[in-house]
Chain A
Amino acid sequence: KQEVTQIPAALSVPEGENLVLNCSFTDSAIYNLQWFRQDPGKGLTSLLLIQSSQREQTSGRLNASLDKSSGRSTLYIAASQPGDSATYLCAVRQGNTPLVFGKGTRLSVIA
């Protein structure tokens, strides 16, 4: 059974700092990996989707990498801003099975 772990559970950084969020998964035979953002009381916003054949994806100040063989992904956020404060969720998909989510990293960017 696939399990997804996100470390740290919570992170607080000053504005402007670069940061890395970590995601690990137990079964490396994944189809794709998706990073989401969730604001309090809101739905999930997709940030980046990485297919199993890809090593990384970039969108603006966000860069996600995937090392399938070691079961790891990182989300790099450059020049963090208070508006980046949210919970970041990592999820993996295997074949025909639905996405399996980690519990998320709660990020606070302090002005």
Chain B
Amino acid sequence: NAGVMQNPRHLVRRRGQEARLRCSPMKGHSHVYWYRQLPEEGLKFMVYLQKENIIDESGMPKERFSAEFPKEGPSILRIQQVVRGDSAAYFCASSPGHNYGYTFGSGTRLTVV
């Protein structure tokens, strides 16, 4: 079991470009969560998805950010028209259900230049 796989590990984008972050959950896990971590700050929840459904997006900025978890393939966090303030580490976690703990990926470190 390869664990939660995130790619790329590092991503550099110029202001105004799009960033696509990918997350493949652990085998058997149908719940996916995205978190953002800014330097010297805690992890902030962004969005919670199950296959083909967004369950909770209360932590997502209203503009430029979107997420999906299609029937086939990884979950995608998409940031359009990136700005310097989007520079952060983005972590994905998965779990098999509500009673279980989370398993985190190694994160994608986004740098906007």
Task: With A95-B98, A98-B56, A99-B33 as known contacts, state yes or no: A46 contacts B43, CB within 8 Å.
Answer: no
- How many positions in chain B have a CB within 8 Å of any CB in the partner chain? 23
Q: Does B85 lie at the interface of the complex (its beta carbon under 8 Å from any beta carbon of A)?
A: no
19 contacts between A and B (CB under 8 A): A31-B98, A31-B99, A34-B101, A42-B106, A43-B91, A43-B104, A43-B105, A43-B107, A44-B91, A44-B93, A46-B102, A51-B99, A91-B43, A96-B55, A96-B56, A99-B33, A99-B102, A101-B44, A103-B41
Interface of B is mostly: strand
Residues B73-113 near A (CB distance < 8 A):
91, 93, 98-107, 109
Residues on A with C-beta less than 8 A from B102 are 34, 46, 91, 99
Assembled-state Cα–Cα distance A100/B46 (Å):
11
